[in-house]
């Protein structure tokens, strides 16, 4: 293996829950009293694991507990995990915003962090002045910025407004300018939080392209936190999964994403049961689920097997033949990819419970995150029920490909066509 | 995995800074940031105000006029035979303002910059230093105004006499004021991250401090009047005024221009010692706080 550029050694971070204030002084005094007697900090021995949904017994919580990993030079490490798993805390420690409670991190390179774009932007100053200030905050020297200022302005696409105070900018323009500054940082290690989820589609593409250039061309090391599995898979070479403040998995990015999505750790479950809000006068929605046709809902949905969409619905009226089901499929940007419906098929909806299944052929959907909108249409025209993004699901690379890093191909569908010599 | 050269790490992120872990090299490498922050402070302070930088002048001039009316007109404090009371007060206010600007600006360094500090790392001490430098610019302008009035009154023989031999002390006095403000401010800002009580004290405290710092009276006159008028409490109040390092600096500042009041090189040396201790203490406390303040602020 190549050089280790960053080593995280037994890092833990403890937070105190509740308000800072009452009781803080007494705890501080107790700590100090134990310290001068040469004893250990009494509050370090207690503390719950970091699980946001369960009620804890202790006032102290370990946001991170005994984190160990190494990053090699040139690696692009994706850090994934659900909300509150400790991702941001880890990034904060890496970027020296806050210190760890115990343990240490050793590095062989300059770390620059991008937890937010536009840190320190001042509305009263012009775009150009802000580029200099923001660049310096991120660790560039004035000379470095001067030599890159033209490129930065060009990349941002805000040339016309560059000598206007930033407070007159649209929010999108501010973000563009801010990202442009960050894109021209040249540290050995770059720490990036989900800043790519900004700007319009055109700019997002530009930003992701720039990130790829940084990691591939420059041989720089990037640590990247995201909820967007598609960008983690396309950008990262390695991945770690955090769960309740601990490293649950470490390996290739593909593996990590698959692990994250397959276990119940993901926010997305592939079966959604509806509550009484979906009990309508004419029908009641029971559940909606997506799975491969020979597997369970608990398993990941893979792209190289048929995918079933199962809708469980109970009709309370007799005139069920007037009703049709329509779905819209959206990609992770929320763009509608296509719509599909049961109208032209031999579907009989009956009074009482129905399970209506739609099968998407294998090797059709590209791995990624998708959402479904559901419409229940009466008389082929009136939408009696419509809910956008009623259901989210993920499709992962097929089982045979897991472990072989090939990168995600562009696009959202991956159909198999006929090829032959003629 | 190469673990052979573990001692070649560039740096280590560990739970707590050492007691004195002042990385001067690192601070130096961020000097551009310091200047850009100063530039930001200067160009944004008076944006969209009608009078703009004139505010730099209005505040000390009006304060001095009011002090002259109250302390010299009403309370009848004698400031020296051939020194115009207004000029005397302007001198005190000018040097005092530098200290109070530094202190006030520094004392909420952590709280005010919470947003930046929680997102990106740079040596935190850059922020207090920015305050000291941009306050120095402000002081420079106010000092020029003072010089203007000084020349005006000197031409009419109402400005005492310039003490040319002691004038080399001037930059040292300014440095002392800056360091005192910086040191005290850093101590306060570190303590306010957890306990906010001190924030309420700062504005009020600076004002109280001004009254025992010989800004609007000569030390000698004050000590004499207090001994005569309040003999019971004189041995509490007088030592405060006499030993207050700030009073010493203000008094010496006026001594340079008017050759009036008390002056002793010993006192200046003691003040320097106290200043260095306070500034170092401030740095130590600030350094200890900067790693984890973001969790408690």
For chain B, the DSSP string reads: ---TTGGG-SEEE-SS--SS---HHHHHHTHHHHHHHHHHHHHHHTTT-SSGGGHHHHHHHHHHHHHIIIIIIIS-----TTB-HHHHHHHHHHHHHHHHHHHHHHHTHHHHTHHHHTT--S-TTHHHHHHHHHHHHHHHHHHHHHHHHHHHHHHTT-B----GGGTTHHHHHHHHHHHHHHHHHHHHHHHHTT-THHHHHHHHHHHHHHHTTTSSS-HHHHHHHHHHH-TTTHHHHHHHHHH-HHHHHHHHHHHHHH--S---HHHHHHHHHHHHHHHHHHHHHHHHHHTTHHHH-
Query: Could you tell me the two tokens for A29?
Result: 């005094």
Phi-psi region of A257 (alpha: psi -120 to 50; beta: other; left: phi over 0): alpha
Tell me the pLDDT tens digit for each residue of A21-78.
Answer: 545 666 777 777 776 776 666 666 555 566 655 555 566 778 888 889 888 888 888 8
Q: If 0-12 CB within 10 Å is exposed, 13-18 middle and 19+ buried, where does residue A391 land?
A: buried
Alpha-carbon distances of A391 from A230, A327, A387, rounded to whole Å: 18, 11, 9
* For range B49-77, the mean pLDDT: 86
Q: Across the interface, which of A100, A125, A141 has its CB nearest the CB of B13? A: A100
Specify the residue for token string 């991008």.
A114
Backbone angles phi, psi at B50, to 5 degrees: -75, -45
Q: Pick from B232, B91, B66, B285: which is nearest to B170 by CA? A: B91
Q: Do B12 and A105 touch (CB under 8 A)?
A: yes
Q: Which residues of chain B does A97 touch, with a Cβ-Cβ cutoff of 8 Å?
A: 117-121, 294
**What pLDDT, on the 0 to 100 scale, is given for residue B167?**
86
Q: Which of A141-145, B23-27, B69-73, B275-279 has the lowest mean pLDDT?
A: B23-27
Q: Per mean pLDDT, which range of A375-379, B78-82, B184-188 is the poorest?
A: B78-82
Q: Give me the total of CB pairs closer than 8 Å, taking one residue from chain A and one from chain B.
A: 112
* Mutation target vs A (from B37, B44, B119, B126; most A CBs, 10 A cutoff): B119
Beta-bridge partner residues of A358: A309
| CB A165 within 8 Å of CB B44 | no
Highest mean pLDDT (candidates A47-61, B142-156, B184-198): B142-156
Q: Is A250 exposed, middle or buried (0-12, 13-18, 19+ CB in 10 A)?
A: middle
Q: Does A107 touch chain B (CB under 8 A)?
A: yes
Topology at the third CATH level for domain A271-396: Coagulation Factor XIII; Chain A, domain 1 (2.70.50)
Strands lying side by side in the sheet with A238-243: A111-114, A189-192, A221-225, A76-80, A238-243, A246-252
CA nearest B253: which of B155, B127, B143? Answer: B143
Burial A251-265 (b: 16+ CB within 10 A, else e): ebbbbbbbbbbbeeb
Dihedral over Cα of A255, A256, A261, A263: its sign: positive
Q: What is the location of CATH 2.70.50.60 in chain A?
A: 271-396
Determine whether the interchain pair B12/A107 forms a contact, defined as Cβ–Cβ distance below 8 Å: yes
Query: Is A181 strand, coil or helix?
Result: helix
Strand partners, A69: A8
Strands A271-273 and A189-192: unpaired
What is the nearest CA distance from A374 to chain B, expressed in angstroms? 40
pLDDT of residue A42: 63
Q: Hunting for tokens 């009956």 — which residue is that? A: A350
CA distance A76 to A81: 17
What would the pLDDT profile of A127-183 be if each residue is shown by its tens digit?
999 999 998 988 888 898 999 999 899 888 888 888 988 888 888 888 888 888 887
**Band of the pLDDT at B113, cuts 50, 70, 90?**
confident
Q: Which residue spans of chain A are classified as CATH 3.40.50.300?
A: 88-262
The confidence score (pLDDT) of residue A45 equals: 59
DSSP state letters, A312-340 = EEEE-SS-GGGEEEEEEEE-TT--EEEEE
Q: What gap in Å lies between CA A115 and CA B89, rounded to an integer?
A: 50
Query: Scanning every residue of chain B, which has its alpha carbon at the shortest distance from the alpha carbon of A6?
Result: B9
The rounded distance, in Å, linking the Cα atoms of A222 and A236 is 8
Query: Which member of B13, B39, B195 has the closest CB to residue A93?
Result: B13
Interface contact flag, B12 A106, Cβ < 8 Å = yes
Chain A residues whose beta carbon lies within 8 Å of the beta carbon of residue B295: 15, 98
| CATH number at A88-262 | 3.40.50.300
**Cβ contact B15–A99 (<8 Å):** yes
CB contact under 8 A, B120 and A100: no
- Tokens standing for residue B38: 């100063």
DSSP string for A73-123 = TT-EEEEE-STTSSHHHHHHHHTTSS--SEEEEEESS-EEEESSTTTT--T
Beta strand segments in A156-306, E: 189-192, 221-225, 238-243, 246-252, 271-273, 283-292, 301-302
Q: How far apart are CA B147 and CA A162, in angstroms?
A: 40
B194 closest CB neighbour out of A15, A24, A99: A24
CA–CA gap between residue B96 and residue B77 (Å, rounded):
19
Residues of chain A with pLDDT under 70: 1-2, 17-26, 35, 38-59, 194-201, 204, 217-218, 261-269, 333, 398-409
Tokens of A303: 């792209």
B-chain CB neighbours of A6 within 8 Å are none
Q: What is the largest CA-CA distance in chain B?
A: 82
The tokens describing A165, both together, are: 């105070």
- Over residues B235-258, the pLDDT tens digits come to 888 888 888 889 989 999 998 988
Question: What is the helix (H) or strand (E) element at residue A6, kind and residue range?
Answer: strand A4-16
Tokens 């206007």 sit on residue: A164
DSSP state of A270: S
Which residues in chain A are closer than 8 Å to B119, comparing Cβ atoms? 97, 113, 115-116, 119
Q: How far apart are CA B217 and CA B215, in angstroms?
A: 6
- Tell me what pLDDT residue B291 has: 73
All residues of chain B having their beta carbon less than 8 Å from the beta carbon of residue A115 are 119-120
Nearest chain A Cα to B46, which residue?
Answer: A124
Give the pLDDT band of residue B90 (cuts 50, 70, 90): very high
- According to the model, what pLDDT value does residue B225 have? 87
pLDDT of residue B185: 92
Looking at beta carbons, which residues of chain A come within 8 Å of B48?
Answer: 124
Would you call A96 an interface residue with chain B, using a CB distance cutoff of 8 Å?
A: yes
């Amino acid at each position: 293996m190549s050089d280790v550029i960053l080593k995280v050694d037994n890092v833990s971070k403890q937070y105190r829950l509740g308000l800072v204030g009452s009781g803080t002084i007494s705890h501080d005094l107790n700590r100090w009293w134990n310290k001068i007697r040469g004893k250990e900090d009494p509050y370090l021995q207690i503390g719950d694991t970091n699980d946001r949904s369960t009620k804890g017994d202790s006032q102290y919580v370990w946001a991170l507990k005994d984190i160990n990993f190494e990053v090699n030079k040139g690696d692009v490490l994706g850090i994934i995990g659900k909300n509150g798993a400790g991702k941001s805390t880890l990034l904060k420690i890496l970027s020296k915003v806050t210190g760890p409670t115990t343990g240490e991190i050793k590095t062989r390179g300059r770390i620059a962090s991008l937890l937010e774009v536009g840190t320190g932007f001042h509305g009263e100053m012009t775009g150009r002045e802000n580029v200099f200030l923001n660049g310096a905050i991120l660790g560039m020297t004035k000379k470095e910025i001067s030599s890159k200022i033209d490129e930065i302005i060009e990349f941002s696409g805000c040339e016309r407004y560059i000598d206007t105070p930033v407070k007159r900018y649209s929010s999108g323009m501010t973000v563009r300018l801010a990202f442009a500054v960050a894109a021209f940082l040249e540290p050995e290690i770059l720490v990036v939080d989900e800043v790519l989820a900004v700007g319009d589609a055109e700019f997002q593409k530009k930003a992701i392209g720039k990130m790829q250039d940084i990691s591939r061309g420059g041989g720089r090391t990037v640590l990247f936190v995201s909820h967007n599995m598609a960008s983690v898979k396309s950008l990262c070479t390695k991945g770690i999964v955090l769960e309740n403040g601990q490293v649950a998995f470490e390996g290739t990015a593909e593996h990590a994403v698959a692990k994250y999505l397959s276990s119940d750790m993901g926010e997305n479950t592939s079966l959604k049961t509806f509550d009484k809000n979906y009990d309508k006068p004419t029908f009641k929605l029971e559940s909606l689920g997506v799975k491969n046709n020979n597997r369970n809902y608990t398993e990941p949905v893979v792209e190289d097997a048929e995918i079933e969409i199962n809708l469980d619905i109970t009709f309370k009226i007799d005139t069920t033949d007037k009703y049709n089901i329509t779905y819209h499929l959206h990609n992770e940007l929320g763009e509608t990819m296509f719509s599909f419906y049961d109208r032209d098929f031999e579907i009989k909806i009956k009074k009482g419970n129905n399970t209506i299944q739609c099968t998407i052929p294998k090797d059709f959907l590209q791995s990624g995150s998708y959402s479904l909108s559901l419409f229940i249409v009466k008389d082929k025209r009136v939408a009696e029920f419509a809910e956008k993004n009623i259901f989210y699901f993920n499709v992962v690379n097929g089982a045979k490909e897991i472990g072989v890093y090939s990168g995600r191909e562009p696009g959202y569908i991956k159909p198999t066509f006929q090829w032959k010599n003629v | 995995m190469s673990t052979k050269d573990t001692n070649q790490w560039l740096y280590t992120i560990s739970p707590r800074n050492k007691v004195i872990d002042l990385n001067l090299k690192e601070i130096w490498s961020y000097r551009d940031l310091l200047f850009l922050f100063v530039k930001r402070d200067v160009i944004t302070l008076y944006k969209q105000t009608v009078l703009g930088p004139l505010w730099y002048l209005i505040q000390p001039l009006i304060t001095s006029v009011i002090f002259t009316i109250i302390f010299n007109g009403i309370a009848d404090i004698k400031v020296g035979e051939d020194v115009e009371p207004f000029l005397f007060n302007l001198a005190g206010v000018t040097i005092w303002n530098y200290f109070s600007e530094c202190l006030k600006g520094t004392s909420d360094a952590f709280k005010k910059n919470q947003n930046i500090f929680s997102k990106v790392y740079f040596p935190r001490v850059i922020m207090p230093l920015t305050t000291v430098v941009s306050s120095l610019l402000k002081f420079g302008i106010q000092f020029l105004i003072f010089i203007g009035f000084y020349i005006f009154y000197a031409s009419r023989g109402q400005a005492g006499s310039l003490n040319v031999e002691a004038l080399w002390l001037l930059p040292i006095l300014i440095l002392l004021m800056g360091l005192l403000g910086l040191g005290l401010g850093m101590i306060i800002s570190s303590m306010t991250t957890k306990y906010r009580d001190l924030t309420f004290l700062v504005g009020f405290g600076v004002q109280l401090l001004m009254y025992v710092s010989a800004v609007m009276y000569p030390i000698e006159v004050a000590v004499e009047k207090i001994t005569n008028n309040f003999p019971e409490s004189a041995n509490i109040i007088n030592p405060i005024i006499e030993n207050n390092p700030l009073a010493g600096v203000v008094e010496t500042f006026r001594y340079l221009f008017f050759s009036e009041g008390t002056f002793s090189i010993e006192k200046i040396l003691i003040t320097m010692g106290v200043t260095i201790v306070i500034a170092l203490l401030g740095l130590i406390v600030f350094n200890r706080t900067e790693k984890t303040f973001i969790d408690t602020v």
